[in-house]
Amino acid sequence: MSTSFHPLQKLVGRRFSRLFGMNLGLTERLGSILAGGALIGAGLLRRGTARTLLLGTGAGFLLRGASGHCPLYHQLGINQLDRRNRDGVPGNQGLRIEYAVEVQCPAPELYQFWRNLDQLPRILRHVESVELVDAWHSHWVARGPIGPALEWDAEIINEHENELIAWQSVHGAKLQNAGTVRFDQLSDTSTYVKVCIELQPIGGTAALTLARLFGTDPQRELEEDLERFKDFAERELTPESHSVE
């Protein structure tokens, strides 16, 4: 599953954003791409100066959306990503857990498995289902050792193909959470996978909410989930496993 602006991002976005830095959120990036496409479409129907202005402005909006960088915001010191760090995890809030494993599998295969969010219940023990709403938004249902299921909506806030996926829950979730999964390819057949999660239950039910979802030790649950993922990936996702009939 990929976002609609990936072709543009591959052509110009990554190089441009690495040179100048991203300062736009996902919503404004998508709005810029839609506006740019509309302006270019209108420009193709015009002639003369109007055509030139519309095409030039449209191209500027497309570049703005694909790169995630706005020169005007840069000059004004505005950065829409300041409310979270580059990993998409709020700093010094709630409970932070992380764990990493080395998986004998190429990074692209591991990235694609995680990016197809509806596959994650296969390796995350407490996640009952993930329903894809669109390319960036999803609805999660998780069931812990006690109590009823917990449900929340989440959005992908940052991604670099084969390298990084970052997410956060949307406003109003009973279990506010954010996190990242990184894929650092060590060799053609080995990848270092690190997951970092921030959990922040709202209201006065923090202990109860975490207990319902993870039991008594969220860190241990994450470690077991990633070890389960490692076993699954090395059995099912390697090129060798694909060649076995």
Q: CA-CA distances (angstroms) from residue 103 to 27, 109, 167, 186? A: 34, 11, 22, 10
- φ, ψ (nearest 5 deg) of residue 151: -130, 145
**Domains detected in the chain:** 6-83 (no CATH), 95-243 (3.30.530.20)
The Cα–Cα gap between 116 and 46 comes to 42
* pLDDT tens readout for residues 121-177: 999 988 899 999 999 999 999 876 556 778 889 999 889 999 999 998 887 777 778
DSSP 104: S
- The sheet with strand 137-142 has its strands ordered as 95-103, 190-201, 175-187, 164-169, 150-160, 137-142, 127-132
State the pLDDT confidence band at 4, using cuts at 50, 70 and 90.
Answer: very low
The Cα–Cα gap between 207 and 217 comes to 11
- Residue closest to 102 by CA, chosen among 244, 233, 235: 233
State the pLDDT confidence band at 54, using cuts at 50, 70 and 90.
Answer: confident
pLDDT, residue 143, reads 76
Q: CA-CA distances (angstroms) from residue 209 to 94, 172, 244? A: 12, 14, 43
* pLDDT tens readout for residues 61-74: 888 888 887 776 56
The Cα–Cα gap between 29 and 70 comes to 10
Q: Are 193 and 66 in contact (CB under 8 A)?
A: no
State the pLDDT confidence band at 83, using cuts at 50, 70 and 90.
Answer: very low
pLDDT, mean of residues 6-12: 45
Helix axes 107-115, 218-236, angle to 10 degrees: 120
Token pair in block for residue 182: 């990184």
The Cα–Cα gap between 222 and 224 comes to 5
User: The pTM is what?
Assistant: 0.59
Q: CA-CA distances (angstroms) from residue 67 to 6, 16, 17, 22, 26? A: 10, 6, 5, 7, 11
The Cα–Cα gap between 5 and 135 comes to 11
* pLDDT tens readout for residues 27-46: 778 888 888 888 899 889 98
